[in-house]
Structures are given as C-alpha cells and as structure tokens.
C-alpha cells in the first residue's frame, strides 16, 4: 500500500467520516456547511478524493442505498492517516483577492467605475457579515458549550468581514467616490 499523502481537502472528508458513514453528497453538504467559509471544495473534487481514498484503503464503500447513494465508512487505516494529518503543523493561509488586484491596477479604470466596483463589493461583505451575525445569534447555549471550535470558526468569519467592511469605509474618497452606501 503506497503511503498516500493526504491533502487538507481529503483529510477533512475523513474528519467528517468519524461521525458516521456518509456518501459523497452528504460530504459535499456537510463540508459546505461546516468548513465552507474558509475551505472551498466542489462536488467533483469530493468524488475524486473519495475514489482515491477508497482505492488506498482509507475508506470502505458500503452497499449502495436509495438513488444509488454510495456510503463510505472510515477504516482503521483512514483513522490513522487522519490522526497523522491533524497533528501536523497547519500551513499558512492563502488569500486570493481579485478586487485588490483591480484596485492595485485601478489607474487603468475610470475613477467612477472603480468606485462603483468597490461600493458593490462593500455591500456584499456587509451582507455576509449580517449573515454570520444572524447565525451567531441563533446558536443555542448548549451548542456553544458542546462545540466551541465551531463557534470559533464562525467568529473568525465575523472578525474577517468586519475588518473588510471597515477597510472599505476608511478608503480615501479619491478611490471610493462619495456614493458609498454607509
């Protein structure tokens, strides 16, 4: 058996499979819900990683259920691989922010066009922030105590979006114009 180098995406799937056997579809949705705010993945990727991990013996396919659902269960090898992954030092985050590129090259754009783009993106981030805050407010105390890490990752989103919005708001008028919706 080749030593199969786990990537973070595959490892996350193993992480979720600790809870119960799941099919690709479940994993896509679970991942979206639980780590989607800071780790993106597509269905294609999930199915590919599952196939590769099944091949490598980290998960075992069960019997297909309704609608051809293919459940996978964690194996001992999978559990071991996950343990190894999770105890590694996590790497640095990657941020790729196209808006900042547009801004950096903003000299090539009419000022009001740039201002409009900034304005629109500010609105999106403000909305995302409201969304997180609504979620935060709805967490029952029991959950808060049982899953402090889940709350902490949500809080990260809140801190991040607040920073982004306040960054927009401190931009000089020369860049953002004065049409910004406060």
Binding site for its own copies (CB under 8 A): 8, 11-12, 15, 18, 34-35, 38-40, 82-83, 86-87, 89-109, 113, 117, 120-121, 124, 148-150, 152-153, 155-156, 159-160, 162-164, 166-167, 170-172, 174-175
Residue 71, beta-bridge partner list: 23
Cα atoms found within 13 Å of the Cα of residue 9, Cβ hemisphere only: 17
The stretch near DNA (CB under 7 A) out of 61-69, 77-85, 145-153, 163-171 is 61-69
Distance in angstroms (rounded) separating the CA atoms of residues 154 and 132: 7
When CB distances are held under 5 to 8 angstroms depending on the partner's kind, the choice from DNA, its own copies, none that residue 4 binds is: none
- Confirm if 115 and 48 have CB atoms less than 8 A apart: no
- Confirm if 1 and 57 have CB atoms less than 8 A apart: yes
Q: Is 25 in the site for DNA (CB under 7 A)?
A: yes
When CB distances are held under 5 to 8 angstroms depending on the partner's kind, the choice from DNA, its own copies, none that residue 43 binds is: DNA
What would the x/- binding string for DNA be over residues 69 to 108, using CB under 7 A? Answer: xx-----------------------x-x------------
For residue 163, give the nearest of 110, 90, 108, 95 by alpha carbon: 95
The CB density around residue 10, as the number of other CB atoms within 10 Å, is 26
What would the x/- binding string for DNA be over residues 27 to 46, using CB under 7 A? Answer: -x-----------xxxxxx-
Shortest Å, Cβ 52 to its own copies: 19
Distance in angstroms (rounded) separating the CA atoms of residues 133 and 88: 32
Q: Greatest CA separation found in the chain?
A: 63
Q: Residue numbers of the site for DNA (CB under 7 A)?
A: 5, 7, 9-10, 23-26, 28, 40-45, 47-48, 50-51, 66-70, 94, 96
């Amino acid at each position: 058996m080749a030593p199969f180098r786990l990537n973070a995406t595959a490892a996350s799937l193993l992480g979720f499979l600790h809870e119960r056997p799941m099919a690709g579809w479940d994993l896509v949705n679970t991942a979206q819900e639980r780590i989607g705010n800071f780790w993106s993945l597509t269905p294609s990727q999930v199915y590919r990683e599952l196939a590769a991990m099944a091949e490598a013996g980290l998960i075992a396919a069960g019997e297909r259920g309704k609608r051809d659902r293919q459940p996978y269960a964690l194996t001992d090898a999978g559990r071991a691989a996950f343990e190894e992954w999770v105890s590694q030092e996590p790497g640095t985050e990657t941020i790729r922010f196209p808006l900042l590129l547009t801004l950096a090259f903003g000299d090539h754009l009419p000022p009001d066009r740039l201002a409009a783009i900034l304005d629109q993106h500010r609105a999106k981030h403000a909305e995302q922030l409201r969304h997180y805050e609504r979620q935060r407010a709805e967490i029952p105390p029991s959950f808060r105590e049982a899953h402090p890490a889940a709350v902490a990752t949500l809080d990260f989103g809140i801190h991040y979006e607040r920073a982004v919005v306040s960054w927009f708001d401190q931009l000089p008028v020369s860049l953002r114009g004065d049409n910004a919706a406060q």
